[in-house]
């Protein structure tokens, strides 16, 4: 067991569910503490009988929401400048913020939900949500739903794998690559669809220029005729 895993085990052993919640707060704020280690290890402890499954999920999700809300508040009340000032502690840089801003502007509030199951995006997406003044209740609900699903999955995997819970971390690496490839394909498909719509709209507008409106006798409706007949 490596140093981080041993430390996580010590925290949970000393503080129980409170310790698990605090670890997930820290995981949101300081990405070097990975949920891919904390949650499967918690699942291992559930399988051993030291923790209950649903109390562990509830504690982890509470910690996830609390940590995400801190980042939301930094984005909302401190702005980009404050976040970047302390970026070295939060492990957030201008490039990752720009990427998260792009996701948020393109996909809207729902990115908060889906980003909770994407390892590279879980933490940073809370900052633009706050900066763009997303309603706090909506942010909290979407964060809780997404984080709850992720926490249930990883704790459940730890229960199933037991002493082999460390395999989850390797699986998550493959999963992250698959998510990034899928996201790239989705973005490409959206761009193609937008291009097709613009092309169709252009051709439709070009077709409409061959039509003209001709005023009829007083009291009658305008007639839409081809330009050749209107002349």
pLDDT in tens for each of the 231 residues of the chain? Answer: 567 888 888 999 899 999 999 999 988 887 667 778 889 999 999 999 999 999 999 999 999 999 999 988 988 887 777 777 766 666 666 776 777 777 777 767 777 787 777 766 677 778 878 877 889 999 999 999 999 998 998 999 889 888 787 777 666 644 444 444 444 444 455 556 666 776 766 556 555 555 554 555 655 544 554 544 445
Three-class SS state of 214: strand
Tell me the two tokens of residue 65.
Answer: 């929401």
Tell me the two tokens of residue 1.
Answer: 């067991």
Quick check: pTM over 0.85? no
Residues 6+ apart with CB under 8 A from 2: none
The answer to whether 74 and 98 are in contact (CB under 8 A) is no
Three-class SS state of 213: strand
Q: How far apart are CA 64 and CA 182, in angstroms?
A: 25
Residues 6+ apart with CB under 8 A from 76: 130, 131, 133
What does residue 52 show for φ and ψ, rounded to 5 degrees? -90, 150
Q: Give just the sign of the alpha carbon dihedral 185, 188, 194, 199.
A: negative
């Amino acid at each position: 067991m490596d140093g981080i895993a041993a430390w996580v085990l010590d925290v949970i052993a000393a503080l129980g569910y409170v310790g698990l919640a605090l670890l997930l707060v820290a995981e949101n704020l300081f990405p070097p503490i990975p949920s891919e280690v904390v949650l499967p290890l918690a699942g291992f402890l559930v399988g051993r009988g030291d923790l209950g499954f649903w109390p562990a999920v509830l504690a982890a999700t509470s910690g996830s929401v609390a940590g995400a809300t801190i980042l939301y508040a930094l984005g909302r009340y401190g702005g980009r400048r404050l976040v970047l000032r302390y970026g070295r502690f939060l492990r957030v840089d201008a490039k990752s913020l720009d990427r998260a801003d792009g996701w948020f502007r393109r996909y809207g509030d729902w990115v908060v939900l889906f980003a909770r199951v994407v390892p590279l995006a879980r933490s940073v997406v809370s900052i633009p949500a706050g900066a763009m003044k997303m309603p706090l209740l909506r942010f909290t609900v979407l964060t809780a739903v997404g984080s709850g699903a992720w926490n249930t999955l990883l704790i459940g995997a730890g229960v199933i794998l037991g002493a082999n819970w460390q395999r989850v971390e390797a699986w998550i690496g493959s999963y992250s690559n698959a998510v990034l490839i899928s996201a790239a394909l989705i973005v490409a498909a959206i761009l193609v669809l937008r291009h097709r719509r613009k092309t169709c709209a252009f051709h439709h507008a070009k077709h409409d220029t061959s039509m003209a409106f001709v005023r009829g006798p007083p009291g009658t409706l305008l007639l839409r005729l081809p330009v050749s007949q209107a002349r």
